[in-house]
Amino acid sequence: MDEQDRYDNFFFIADLHALTIPENINADDLRRRIKEIVALYLACGLDPARSVLFLQSRVPEHASLGWILDCVTPISWLERMTQYKSKSADASPSGGLLTYPALMGR
């Protein structure tokens, strides 16, 4: 992974993304999944001495930027998202799923 020496690399574990699906909000399971993702990153050759690995929820700016993006994104744009449309046909999805595109923009 020569790119780790040529570029400033930042890799994150998207734990806030997991909260958009209510079934994923089990703290013990989420902690286990986070450890698995870190192990996978390391197994793939990411070197924490040459690249930054971080947990999304530990960077408050992620949530702050998400709020700003939520405030300026029209609901009509968010309602176009395929996953939201398919889930809202069968059930009442969470607000987190509705604003997921803004979360992806961070």
SS3 for 91? coil
* Predicted TM-score (pTM) of this structure: 0.71
Task: Tell me the per-residue pLDDT of 26-55, one tens digit each, with 9 for 90 and over.
Answer: 889 889 999 999 999 999 999 999 999 999
Q: Which two tokens stand for residue 59?
A: 């960077």
Q: Show the domain range for 15.
A: 1-58
Tell me, yes or no, whether 49 and 80 share the same domain. no
Tell me, yes or no, whether 41 and 87 share the same domain. no
Tell me, yes or no, whether 52 and 79 share the same domain. no
Number of structural domains the chain divides into: 2
Task: Tell me the per-residue pLDDT of 58-70, one tens digit each, with 9 for 90 and over.
Answer: 999 988 888 899 8
Q: How far apart are CA 86 and CA 5, in angstroms?
A: 42
Q: How far apart are the first and last CA of the chain?
A: 25
